[in-house]
């Protein structure tokens, strides 16, 4: 664990401990002071009954004003002011009845924290005024202490206590605000780190796919420049020999079979080149390639699909273009084979950081065997390899929707 993380955990532990302490202050001091009041000798039943009544009133005030109060209510100014001033007034009345209730009367010093500044100072000052008026008496009411001395001591204690406790509340509130800000910053930092990790993984996936694409292009060039060209030469030479009339008799059927084999090998070589790199993407971008694909598919299937391109075009890496093109190619192939559709729509959408491809039809929908076929598995693996996702929705008799979403990092060119 980092030092920052350890410090944040320690701070959170302290905050939780302090919140529990403030929560339990009245529930420790009120029963304690009540027991001490009732345990006094020489007190009549009436004194004890009033003490119990005041204890019940104070319990209800704290219970519904703080302990069970919704946090949103205490965050509003006037409900919090009413609660703290009521607590101060209850403490004053209880101390007037029995000075031992002074133990409970210090509760407002802690619960004044629910007030914003400078109201918290006012709450502390009110609690201090009530406490010291009950213990020292109001200046001028003492026959043993001169007025000025009594006034200075009375005012000095209240001012010093208010400044000390109020200053502590200021520091605590500022510290709590700073802690909340740090917590927000830590959350944002963690979110940014997670996002960066995801982007890094996507970059690696797209880089890996781009490397594979480069290798496929190299293989396509090698097949085209060597195997295909060689087979083309063989076909040309055999045809020239046939036209020259130099081949006849028993050799003629063998030459014919050799010509057929050479033509078959040339066809397979060209098919391999086409599979390694779509010809539609050689000199054009994805929208144009999809337009050429849908045009040829319409000629073969007799159904003319609609092609829609939305959003501002973003330069895509070859890996993304090839993968999305293959998704469209596979989806349209499945429509032609299985869907018996009358309407087909292809939509390419450029978003800020994503590119989406949707192929929808109104055909028969997929059966379970088709949904788990090799073509769809290959489609998902291909898109997953560049950090994207593929979703397929299909209901029997209601058509099929194939949706591919690929993140575009930094608008790769």
Same domain, 172 and 271: no
Are the C-beta atoms of 86 and 66 separated by less than 8 Å? no
Q: Do residues 246 and 178 share a domain?
A: no
User: Is 210 a domain residue?
Assistant: no
Is 106 within a domain?
yes
238 CB-near residues (< 8 Å, 6+ apart):
255, 258, 259, 262
Domain boundary among 157, 177, 192: 192
Calculate mean pLDDT across residues 73-80: 80
**Which residues are paired to 312 by β-bridges?**
none
Is residue 382 situated within a structural domain? yes
- Residue-wise pLDDT for 212-237, tens only, equals 666 666 676 666 656 666 777 777 77
Rounded-to-integer distance, Cα 392 and Cα 261, Å? 41
Read off the pLDDT of residues 118-177 as tens digits, 9 standing for 90 and up: 788 788 888 888 888 887 877 777 767 787 887 887 787 778 777 777 777 777 767 767
Residue 1 scores a pLDDT above 50: no
Segment 320-339, tens digit of pLDDT: 888 898 899 889 888 888 88
| ∠ CA 125-128-129, rounded to 5° | 85
The verdict on 59 and 153 lying in the same domain is yes
- Tell me which of 86-100, 228-242, 290-304 is least confident: 228-242
In a domain, 206, yes or no: no
Burial of 278 (0-12, 13-18, 19+ CB in 10 A): middle
Same domain (yes/no): 186, 230: no
Rg of the chain over Cα atoms, rounded to whole angstroms, equals 42
Instruction: Give yes or no for a contact between 123 and 90, defined as CB atoms under 8 angstroms apart.
Output: no
Burial profile 31-49: b = 16 or more Cβ within 10 angstroms, e = fewer: eebbeebeeeeeeeeeeee
Indicate whether 259 and 398 sit together in one domain: no
Tell me, yes or no, whether 199 lies in a domain.
no
User: What is the helix (H) or strand (E) element at residue 349, kind and residue range?
Assistant: strand 344-350
pTM of the shown model: 0.43
User: Which of 192, 226, 259 is the endpoint of a domain?
Assistant: 192
For residue 121, what are the contacts with CB-CB under 8 A and spacing of at least 6?
162, 166, 169
Which residue has better confidence, 283 or 407?
407
* CB contact set of 195 (below 8 Å; sequence gap of 6+): none
Say what the pLDDT of residue 411 is: 44
- Both 147 and 227 in one domain: the answer is no
In this model, does residue 263 exceed pLDDT 70?
yes
Does residue 286 share a domain with residue 257?
Answer: no
User: Do 101 and 36 share a structural domain?
Assistant: yes
pLDDT at 157: 77
The boundaries of the domain holding residue 131 are 3-192
Spatial separation of the C-alpha atoms in residues 57 and 199, rounded to whole Å = 60
Q: What is the chain's mean pLDDT, rounded?
A: 79
Number of separate domains in the chain: 3
């Amino acid at each position: 664990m980092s030092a920052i993380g350890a410090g944040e955990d320690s701070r959170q532990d302290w905050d939780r401990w302090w919140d529990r302490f403030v929560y339990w202050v009245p529930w420790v001091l009120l029963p304690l002071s009540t027991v001490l009041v009732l345990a006094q000798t020489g007190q009549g039943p009436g004194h004890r009954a009033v003490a119990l009544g005041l204890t019940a009133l104070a319990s209800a005030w704290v219970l519904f004003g703080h302990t069970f109060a919704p946090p949103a209510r205490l965050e509003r100014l006037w409900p919090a002011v009413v609660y703290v001033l009521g607590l101060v007034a209850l403490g004053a009345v209880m101390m007037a009845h029995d000075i031992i209730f002074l133990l409970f009367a210090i509760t407002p010093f802690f619960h004044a924290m629910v007030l914003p500044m400078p109201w918290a100072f006012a709450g502390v000052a009110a609690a201090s005024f009530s406490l010291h008026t009950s213990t020292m008496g109001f200046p001028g009411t003492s026959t043993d202490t001169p007025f000025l001395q009594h006034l200075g001591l009375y005012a000095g204690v209240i001012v010093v206590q208010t400044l000390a406790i109020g200053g502590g509340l200021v520091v605590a509130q500022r510290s709590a605000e700073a802690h909340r800000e740090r917590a927000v910053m830590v959350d944002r930092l963690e979110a940014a780190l997670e996002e960066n990790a995801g982007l890094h993984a996507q970059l690696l996936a797209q880089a890996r796919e781009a490397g594979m694409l480069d290798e496929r292009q190299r293989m396509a060039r090698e097949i085209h420049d060597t195997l295909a060209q060689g087979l083309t030469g063989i076909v040309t030479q055999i045809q020239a020999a046939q036209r020259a009339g130099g081949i006849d008799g028993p050799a003629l059927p063998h030459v014919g079979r050799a010509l057929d084999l050479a033509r078959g090998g040339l066809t397979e070589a060209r098919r391999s080149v086409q599979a390694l790199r779509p010809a539609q993407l050689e000199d054009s971008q994805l929208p144009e390639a999809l337009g050429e694909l849908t045009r040829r598919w319409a000629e073969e299937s007799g159904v003319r699909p609609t092609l829609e391109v939305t959003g501002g075009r973003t330069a895509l890496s070859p890996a993304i273009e090839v993968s999305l093109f293959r998704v469209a190619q596979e989806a349209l192939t499945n429509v032609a084979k299985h869907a018996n559709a009358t309407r087909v729509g292809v939509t390419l959408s450029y978003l800020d950081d994503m590119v989406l491809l949707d192929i929808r039809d109104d055909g028969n929908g997929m059966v379970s065997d088709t949904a788990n076929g090799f073509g769809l598995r290959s489609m998902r693996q291909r898109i997953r390899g560049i950090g994207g996702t593929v979703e397929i929705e299909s209901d029997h008799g209601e058509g099929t929707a194939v949706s591919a979403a690929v993140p575009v990092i930094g608008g790769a060119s």
